[in-house]
Amino acid sequence: MVLVDDLLTAPVRGLLWIFREIHHAAREELVNEAESLTSELSNLYMMLETGKISEEEFAAEEKNLLERLERIHQRGRGPETENTGIRKRDRRGERKAA
């Protein structure tokens, strides 16, 4: 009987494994992108300190990099922790504040 159960649940377990791998790859990509932006931000600070760029150029580029980094962090948190102002329903169907 156990063999039959294993044969019947194998496709579902296979799909779950695929979804876990996709999720892991997506998370890894977000982490790598965030690290890349942090490195760019560090290089930007070095360029400002060495005088290779002006304060105005620094401010514009820093704002761009920080906005991109914030979007990455928001994507990484997911809809459950984002403050969207949308009311969600709990398990009993009652509305609760987001």
20 in a domain, yes or no? yes
Q: What does the radius of gyration of the chain's CA atoms come to, in whole angstroms?
A: 22
> pTM above 0.85?
no
94 in a domain, yes or no? no
Looking at per-residue confidence, does 78 or 55 come out higher? 55
Sign (positive or negative) of CA dihedral 45, 49, 54, 59: positive
98 in a domain, yes or no? no
67 in a domain, yes or no? yes
88 in a domain, yes or no? no
The length of the chain is: 98
State which residues form the domain around 58.
2-77
46 in a domain, yes or no? yes
95 in a domain, yes or no? no
Number of domains in the chain: 1
Question: What percent of the chain is modeled with pLDDT above 70?
Answer: 78
Q: What is the pLDDT of residues 38-71, one digit of tens each?
A: 999 999 999 999 999 999 999 999 999 999 999 9
63 alpha carbon, distance to own chain's centre: 19
User: pLDDT tier at 1 (50, 70, 90 boundaries)?
Assistant: low
11 in a domain, yes or no? yes
User: pLDDT tier at 85 (50, 70, 90 boundaries)?
Assistant: very low
Q: If we measure between CA atoms, which residue out of 74, 4, 68 comes closest to residue 33? A: 68
Question: What percent of the chain is modeled with pLDDT above 90?
Answer: 59
